[in-house]
């Protein structure tokens, strides 16, 4: 049922908004608990129909065979259009996620760069000619994969969707995006923007719905060419078996338990600022949240004292107020999960966690899903130190040596981001080499650029976003081998017995005329 007072945001299919689905779902502002819109709960049959249409669009070739210069022009124009509309998108992101407006302004200001970067890659992409032996020219060209599915999350709705959309479109694919049901509205606004930029209708399809329904139906479609997921490990596990049966490759950007390794050479005030930045951006709801502060014992006490004071002073509240530093968490379940982590860390036998500050749910004007920024002193084996909270509940650990910091940093199942804070250059270099993580920052955290590959090891995922790696993961390589030597004579009796002397050398069969072939 469509409520006339609450706007409905329909799926964007084949260059237009579709009529609303028979079933819809609400999108809630987590800071106010108000419903800000409804979106379609796309059914199984609708998903199948959209996948079929998308293949038709791919095969028609309007985008998949477009010139590189055209892809460049369209994506560059989309970047320009997006840049002009950033203030409007900032408002939407703040409403959907409850994140502070100052964070969303900073993040969204850079998002057009992802489209510009991938536009540029599309324009400069060159094939290759291999040093193939013999009178042969072997060319390698990159082709788009086909129809790809992108399953995106709620914590950075636009940033993560644009990262994935940019790479996939630059490579010439047809893209079906299924944004998170918790924050889909900004993504649905991208349809008309790309159309205005000149993207052929039906090249970018945007569909809404719950992950366990619409997301599942989409990922189970047997003829997708790729699935690109940012989400939880459980979601990866839910989609992996059908994808593997259907031979669909997956890029997966999953969770993390990023260590913030703080060494004794650091000025304590700088170290505290570093920890606040690493830990509390997005209320700790990012895959690289600095959720374990591993602090050398020589500066531990003064660090903890100063960090506690600064954390208690953080301004939590109305995300639309530019002075707010800590916004909402995404929903009630997130508040409950944070509270459960605090309770387990501080009351369960063997955990021995000491609450230094925070630890409680909060509201703004009596409403909303907030959680106080929380610091808990704990040990490396504790549940809190090993498991992802995805909220502002941070573990602090006293470490006696560099070796201990490295051991603890590498001691969880996750390996996405890590930061090292030190004034000792040789230590920075040495420790960066030993940390197991897809991204290691030295004297930085959260630093991100379209050119810099982003993705984890171990349970943190497979493959990369950003950079050439992401672009190339949306392509397949076709090898064309042109023979300009003699025609095959292998089964020609006269040739074998008479004129040709065959010698087998390192698996290479070579005739006396010099033409070579490696039998495969």
The catalytic residue positions are 253
Q: Does 388 bind ligand TXE (CB under 6 A)?
A: yes
**Residue written as token pair 């009178």:** 135
Half-sphere exposure of 74 (CA within 13 A, CB side): 25
User: For residues 155 and 311, which CB has a smaller minimum distance to ligand TXE in the complex?
Assistant: 155
Nearer to ligand TXE by C-beta: 215 or 359?
A: 215
| Window 97 to 156, contacts with ligand TXE (CB under 6 A) | 151-155
Minimum distance between the CB of residue 124 and ligand TXE, rounded to whole angstroms? 29
Q: Is 368 in the site for ligand TXE (CB under 6 A)?
A: no
Q: Which of 287, 328, 329, 440 binds ligand TXE (CB under 6 A)?
A: 287
Does 177 contact ligand TXE by CB under 6 A? no
Q: At closest approach, how far in Å is the CB of 205 from ligand TXE?
A: 15
d(CA 344, CA 353): 8
Rounded (5°) CA angle 262-264-265:
100
Smallest separation (angstroms) from ligand TXE to the CB of 312: 26
Is 231 among the residues that bind ligand TXE (CB under 6 A)?
yes
| Site for ligand TXE contains 463 (CB under 6 A) | no
Out of 192, 232, 361, 411, the only residue in the binding site for ligand TXE (CB under 6 A) is 232
Minimum gap (Å) between residue 467 Cβ and ligand TXE? 17
Residue 78, judged by CB atoms within 10 A of its CB (0-12, 13-18, 19+), counts as: buried
Residue 408: both structure tokens together:
């603890």
Is residue 157 part of the contact set for ligand TXE (CB under 6 A)? no
**Is residue 341 involved in binding ligand TXE (CB under 6 A)?**
no
Min separation Cβ 217 and ligand TXE, Å: 8
Can you list the positions of beta strands (E) in 63-126?
none
Name which of 510, 247, 294 is nearest 404 in CA terms. 294
Residue of 40, 46, 116, 253 interacting with ligand TXE (CB under 6 A): 253
**Which of 162, 238, 281, 385 lies at the binding interface for ligand TXE (CB under 6 A)?**
238
- # of chain residues touching ligand TXE (CB under 6 A): 26
Listed in order, strand segments (DSSP E) in 162-297 are 174-178, 204-206, 226-230, 250-253, 258-262, 290-296
| Nearer residue to ligand TXE within complex by CB, 121 or 393 | 393
**Cα–Cα dist 287/512, whole Å:** 61
Helix (H) or strand (E) holding 272: helix 268-280
Q: How far is CA 490 from CA 135, 204, 495, in A?
A: 17, 50, 8
* Region binding ligand TXE by CB under 6 A among candidate stretches 5-13, 48-56, 64-72, 247-255: 247-255
* DSSP three-state, residue 40: strand
Task: Please tell me whether residue 390 binds ligand TXE under the rule CB under 6 A.
Answer: yes
**Interface with ligand TXE, residue 235, by CB under 6 A:** yes
The answer for 73, left when phi > 0, alpha when psi is -120 to 50, beta otherwise, is alpha
Length of the chain: 520
* Residue with smaller CB distance to ligand TXE, 45 or 520: 45
- Closest by CA position to 448, among listed 417, 409, 414, 415: 417
Q: Which is nearer to ligand TXE, 172 or 215 (CB)?
A: 215
Is 263:422 a contact under the CB 8 Å cutoff? yes
Helical H segments across 125-177, by residue range: 157-170
Q: Tokens for 304?
A: 């903890």
Which chain residues interact with ligand TXE by CB under 6 A? 151-155, 178, 180-181, 211-212, 215-216, 219, 230-232, 235, 238-239, 253-255, 286-287, 388, 390
């Amino acid at each position: 049922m469509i409520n006339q007072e609450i706007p409905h945001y329909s799926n964007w299919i084949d260059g237009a908004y579709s009529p609303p689905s028979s079933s819809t779902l609400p999108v809630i502002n987590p800071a106010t608990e108000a419903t800000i819109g409804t979106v379609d709960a796309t059914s199984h049959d609708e998903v199948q129909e959209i996948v079929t249409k998308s293949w038709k669009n791919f095969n028609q070739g309007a985008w998949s065979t477009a010139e590189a210069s055209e892809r460049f022009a369209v994506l560059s124009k989309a970047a320009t259009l997006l840049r002009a509309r950033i203030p409007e998108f900032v408002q939407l992101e703040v409403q959907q996620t409850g994140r502070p407006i100052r964070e969303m302004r900073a993040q969204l200001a850079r998002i057009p760069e992802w489209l510009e970067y991938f536009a540029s890659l599309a324009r400069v992409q060159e094939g290759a000619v291999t040093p193939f032996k013999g009178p042969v020219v072997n060319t390698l060209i990159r082709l788009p994969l086909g129809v790809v599915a992108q399953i995106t999350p709620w914590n950075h709705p636009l940033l993560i969707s644009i990262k994935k959309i940019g790479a996939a479109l630059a490579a010439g694919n047809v893209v079906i995006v299924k944004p998170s049901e918790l924050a889909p509205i900004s993504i649905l606004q991208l349809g008309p923007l790309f159309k205005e930029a000149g993207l052929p209708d039906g090249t970018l399809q945007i569909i809404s719905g719950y992950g366990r329904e619409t997301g599942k139906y989409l990922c189970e479609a047997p003829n997708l060419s790729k699935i690109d997921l940012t989400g939880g490990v459980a979601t990866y596990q839910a989609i992996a078996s059908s994808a593997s049966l259907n031979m669909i490759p997956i890029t997966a950007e999953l969770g993390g338990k990023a260590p913030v390794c703080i060494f004794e050479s650091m000025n304590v005030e700088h170290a505290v600022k570093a920890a606040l930045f690493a830990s509390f951006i997005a209320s700790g709801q990012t895959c690289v949240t600095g959720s374990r502060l591993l602090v050398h014992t020589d500066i531990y006490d003064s660090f903890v004292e100063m960090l506690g004071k600064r954390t208690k002073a953080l301004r939590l509240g109305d995300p639309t107020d530019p002075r707010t530093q800590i916004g909402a968490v995404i929903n009630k379940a997130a508040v409950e999960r944070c509270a459960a982590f605090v309770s387990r860390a501080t009351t369960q036998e063997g955990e021995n966690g000491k609450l230094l500050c925070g630890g409680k749910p909060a509201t703004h004007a009596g409403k909303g899903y907030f959680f106080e920024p929380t610091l808990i002193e704990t040990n490396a084996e504790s549940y809190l130190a090993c498991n992802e909270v995805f909220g502002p509940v941070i573990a602090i650990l006293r470490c006696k040596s560099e070796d201990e910091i490295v051991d603890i940093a590498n001691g969880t199942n996750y390996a996405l981001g890590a930061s090292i804070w030190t004034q000792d250059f040789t230590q920075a270099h040495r420790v960066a080499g030993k940390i197991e993580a897809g991204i290691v920052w030295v004297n930085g955290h959260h630093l991100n650029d379209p050119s810099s590959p982003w993705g984890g090891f171990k349970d943190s995922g497979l493959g990369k976003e950003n950079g050439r790696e992401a672009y190339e993961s949306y392509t397949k390589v076709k090898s064309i081998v042109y023979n300009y030597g003699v025609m095959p004579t292998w089964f020609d009796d006269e040739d074998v017995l008479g004129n040709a002397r065959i010698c087998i050398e390192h698996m290479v069969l070579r005739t006396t005329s010099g033409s070579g072939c490696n039998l495969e």
